[in-house]
A and B are shown apart, each in its own frame.
Chain A
Amino acid sequence: MVENQTSSAQQPAKAAGSAHAIDLKKVSKAFGPVQANKDIDLTVKRNSIHGIVGENGAGKSTLMSILYGFYTADSGEIWVNGQLVKIKDSSHALELGIGMVHQHFMLVENFTVLENIILGAEGEFLLDSSKAKARDELTRLAKDYGLDVDPDALIEDLSVGQEQRVEILKALYRGADVLILDEPTGVLTPTEADQLFRILEQLRDEGKTIILITHKLREIMAVTDTVSVMRQGEMVGTIATADTSPEQLAEMMVGRRVLLRVDKTPAKPGDVVLEVKNLSVTDEIGVPRVKDVSFNVKAGEIVGIAGVAGNGQSQLLRAISGMEAPLLGDVRINGELVRFEGDDSAAKVREMGLAHVPEDRLKMGLVTQFQEWENSLLGYHDSEKYGSGPFLSVKDAIADAEKRIEMFDIRPRNPRLKTANFSGGNQQKVVLAREMDRELDVLVVGQPTRGVDIGAIEFIHKQIIELRDQGKAVLLVSVELDEIRALSDRVLVMFDGEIVTELAPDATERDFGLSMAGVDPKEGA
Chain B
Amino acid sequence: MSARQPLPNWVTIVLMPALNVLLAFIIGGLAVAMIGENPLDAMWALFYGAFGTGMGWGFTLHYATNFIFTGLAVAVAYHAGMFNIGGEGQAYVAGLGAIVVALWLDQTHWTLVLLGSTAAAMVMGALWAIIPGWLQAKRGSHVVITTIMFNFIASAFMGYMLVQVITAPGANAETRTIAEPGRLPLMSDWFDAFQYSPLNITFFFGILALIFTYVLIWRTKLGYKIRTLGANPEAARYAGISAVAVIIIAMAISGALAGLMAVNEAVGVQKRLVVGYVAGVGFVGIAVAFMGRSHPVGIALAALLFGALYQGGQELAFELPAVPSELVLIIQALVILFTGAMGEMFHPVLERIFAKKIEAAPEEATTSTGEA
Contacts and interface: CB of A to CB of B under 8 A. Distances in A.
A412 B367 contact: yes
A367 B232 CA distance: 6
B249 to A, nearest CB: 12
Contact of B238 (A35, A342, A364, A421): A364
Contacts of A228: none
Given A369-B231, A390-B221, A323 B371 contact: no
Nearest to A368: B232
Interface in B165-189: none
A421 B371 CA distance: 6
Nearest to A324: B237
Q: Is the interface of A mostly helix, strand, loop or mixed?
A: loop
A424 interface: yes
Interface in A330-384: 342-350, 356, 358, 363-370, 374, 377-379, 381-382
Contacts of B225: 381
Range for the number of chain A residues in contact with chain B: 35 or more
A346 B370 contact: no
Contacts of A378: 228, 235, 238-239
B156 interface: no
A390 B237 contact: no
B240 A345 contact: yes
Given A342-B244, A347-B241, A417 B359 contact: no
Contacts of B240: 322, 344-350, 379
A387 B218 CA distance: 13
A111 interface: no
B219 A394 contact: yes
Interface string A37-63: 000000000000000000001110010
A364 B234 contact: yes
B364 interface: yes
Given A367-B228, A374-B224, A390-B221, A417 B238 contact: no
Interface in B195-222: 218-222
B58 interface: no
B365 A33 contact: yes
Contacts of A426: 370
Interface residues of B, number: 38
Given A33-B359, A343-B244, A370-B231, A421 B370 contact: yes
B372 A365 contact: no
Nearest to A344: B242
Contact of B358 (A32, A58, A381): A32
Contacts of B234: 363-364
A392 B228 CA distance: 14
B243 A343 contact: yes
Contacts of A346: 237-240
Interface string B326-347: 0000000000000000000000
A369 B239 CA distance: 16
A321 B219 contact: no
A392 B219 contact: yes
Interface in B229-264: 231-232, 234-235, 237-245
Interface string A53-78: 00001110010000000000000000
B368 A33 contact: yes
Interface string A395-412: 000000000000000001
B317 interface: no
A392 B5 contact: no
A525 interface: no
Contact of B372 (A35, A366, A369, A414): A35
Contacts of B372: 34-36, 57-59, 232-233, 423
A269 B26 CA distance: 75
B282 interface: no
Contact of B370 (A233, A342, A349, A412): A412
Nearest to B224: A381
A387 B355 contact: no
B263 to A, nearest CB: 25
Given A32-B5, A35-B372, A394-B219, A379 B231 contact: no
B1 interface: yes
Nearest to B238: A364
Closest 5 CB pairs of A and B: A347-B240, A346-B240, A344-B242, A379-B239, A33-B365
Interface of B: 1, 3, 5, 218-225, 227-228, 231-232, 234-235, 237-245, 355, 358-359, 364-372
Given A344-B240, A367-B235, 4 more contacts: A32-B5, A367-B228, A374-B224, A381-B225
23 contacts: A32-B368, A33-B355, A33-B359, A34-B372, A35-B372, A59-B372, A322-B240, A323-B237, A344-B240, A344-B241, A344-B242, A346-B240, A347-B240, A348-B240, A350-B240, A367-B231, A374-B224, A381-B221, A381-B228, A381-B241, A390-B220, A412-B370, A422-B371
